[in-house]
């Protein structure tokens, strides 16, 4: 990961932010998301008869539609929106368009927490999600405390990278102590997958994500100025420390919540903001909500793809595998393309 300031983040938007443009872009992306949700709800192993399901919610068709498909699509949308919007905000804040939402130690902390919960057999207490959330928040607090000492965005970023490596080592150590079947569960969880959550878990997660996204969007104009550099932003009247702390807190809580719900789903927070930045420019006032909508649509489609793949593998591959398989090559292509342009 390079720590070179990226011209794509740093330049003020060449295209002006107008209400009409925002309405057009966000309206269009909302349409894409709704289409993705509709497609996802119609895809699966169980042949759902839509009219029958809606007429009789208590019928098997109705229960599959209302109890499985819709909650899972909503979960995918929440997690995708969280990862992509947080990615967009962190990339602006750290002035590095290659920053991943997991860089602040969040992935390592969450994975460590969840691995411990699985190793200890604490599933009965909503184990992995709860432990993942606590682990992610703890890691983030540690990383921010260490990063603050130097008041540089790169200090936090590097501390996060080091913490993730440390967490990976401890996880490997725990894995050697686990029985093969329990190890399988840990590996499956770490790969990132969308399962079936209780409605109240969804409601809680959804509330957290909406609050975090609202904070990020509210701070997006100041984020634009922050990407010019701390001194420049301060001279323009931005409360630098407060803004940075608020954005880091909101983004980290959002990512921690997403990881708790779905495990480690990679590349969404990298690819989606990247693609949209190329199309829309770096203005966070538009890029941030657009990333949320685009990320939601992307993950919903990736999750539907896991269900399409079921007859091939006799299992659903974790959605994190699908996002990595799609995202990895795409990202390399984007990088090369940018180098040619630059």
Rule CB under 8 A: which residues touch another protein?
44-47, 60, 63-64, 67-68, 116, 118-123, 127, 170, 173-174, 176-182, 184-185, 188, 193, 195-197, 307, 310, 313-316
- Closer to another protein by Cβ: residue 18 or 123: 123
* Helices 106-120 and 180-191, axial angle in degrees (round to 10): 150
- Closer to another protein by Cβ: residue 28 or 199: 199
CA distance 4 to 153: 12
CA distance 218 to 30: 19
Could you tell me if 265 and 319 are in contact, meaning their C-beta atoms sit under 8 angstroms apart?
yes
Least Å distance, CB 39 to another protein, is 16
Cβ-based neighbour number of residue 239 at 10 Å:
12
Rounded to 5 degrees, what are φ and ψ at 63? -70, -35
Least Å distance, CB 44 to another protein, is 5
Could you tell me if 169 and 293 are in contact, meaning their C-beta atoms sit under 8 angstroms apart?
no
124: DSSP letter: G
SS (H, E, C) 165-234: HHHHHHHHHHHHCCCHHHHHHHHHHHHCCCCCCCHHHHHHHHHHHHHHHHHHHHCHHHHHHHCCCHHHHH
Least Å distance, CB 184 to another protein, is 5
- Closer to another protein by Cβ: residue 113 or 257: 113
- Closer to another protein by Cβ: residue 38 or 315: 315
- Closer to another protein by Cβ: residue 46 or 333: 46
Least Å distance, CB 40 to another protein, is 12
Least Å distance, CB 121 to another protein, is 3
Least Å distance, CB 317 to another protein, is 9
- Closer to another protein by Cβ: residue 115 or 209: 115
- Closer to another protein by Cβ: residue 100 or 197: 197
- Closer to another protein by Cβ: residue 41 or 290: 41
- Closer to another protein by Cβ: residue 47 or 342: 47
Token pair belonging to 161: 């990278």
Least Å distance, CB 58 to another protein, is 9
How far is C-alpha 340 from the geometric centre of its chain's CA atoms?
29
Cβ-based neighbour number of residue 311 at 10 Å:
8
- Which of 170-173's residues contact partners 24+ apart within 8 Å by CB, and which partners? 170/112, 171/111, 171/112, 171/115
Least Å distance, CB 108 to another protein, is 14
Least Å distance, CB 155 to another protein, is 24
Could you tell me if 201 and 129 are in contact, meaning their C-beta atoms sit under 8 angstroms apart?
yes
Secondary structure of residue 15 in the 3-state scheme: coil
């Amino acid at each position: 990961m390079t720590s070179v300031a990226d011209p794509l983040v740093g330049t003020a938007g060449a295209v002006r932010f107008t209400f009409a443009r925002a309405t057009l872009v966000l309206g269009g992306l909302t349409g894409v998301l709704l289409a993705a949700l509709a497609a996802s709800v119609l895809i699966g192993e169980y042949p759902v008869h839509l009219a029958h399901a809606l007429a009789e919610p208590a019928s098997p068709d109705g229960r599959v539609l209302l109890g499985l498909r819709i909650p899972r699509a909503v979960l995918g949308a929440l997690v995708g929106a969280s990862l992509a919007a947080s990615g967009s905000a962190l990339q602006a804040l750290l002035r590095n368009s290659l920053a991943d939402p997991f860089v602040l130690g969040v992935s390592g902390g969450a994975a460590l927490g969840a691995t411990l919960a699985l190793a200890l057999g604490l599933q009965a207490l909503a184990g992995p999600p709860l432990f993942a959330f606590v682990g992610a928040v703890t890691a983030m607090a540690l990383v921010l405390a260490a990063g603050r000492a130097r008041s540089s965005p790169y200090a936090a970023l590097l501390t996060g990278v080091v913490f993730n490596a440390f967490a990976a080592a401890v996880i490997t150590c725990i894995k050697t102590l686990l029985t093969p079947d329990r190890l399988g569960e840990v590996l499956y969880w770490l790969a990132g997958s969308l399962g079936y959550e209780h409605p109240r878990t969804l409601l809680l997660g959804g509330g957290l994500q909406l609050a975090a996204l609202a904070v990020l969007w509210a701070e997006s104009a100041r984020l634009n100025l922050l990407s010019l550099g701390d001194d420049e932003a301060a001279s323009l009247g931005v409360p630098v420390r407060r803004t940075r702390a608020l954005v880091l807190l909101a983004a980290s809580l959002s990512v921690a919540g997403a990881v708790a719900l779905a495990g480690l789903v990679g590349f969404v927070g990298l690819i989606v903001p990247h693609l949209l930045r190329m199309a829309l420019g770096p203005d966070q006032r538009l890029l941030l909500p657009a990333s949320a909508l685009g990320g939601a649509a992307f993950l919903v489609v990736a999750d539907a793809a896991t269900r399409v793949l079921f007859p091939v593998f006799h299992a659903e591959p974790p959605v994190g595998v699908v996002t990595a398989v799609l995202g990895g090559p795409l990202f390399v292509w984007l990088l090369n393309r940018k180098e040619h342009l630059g």
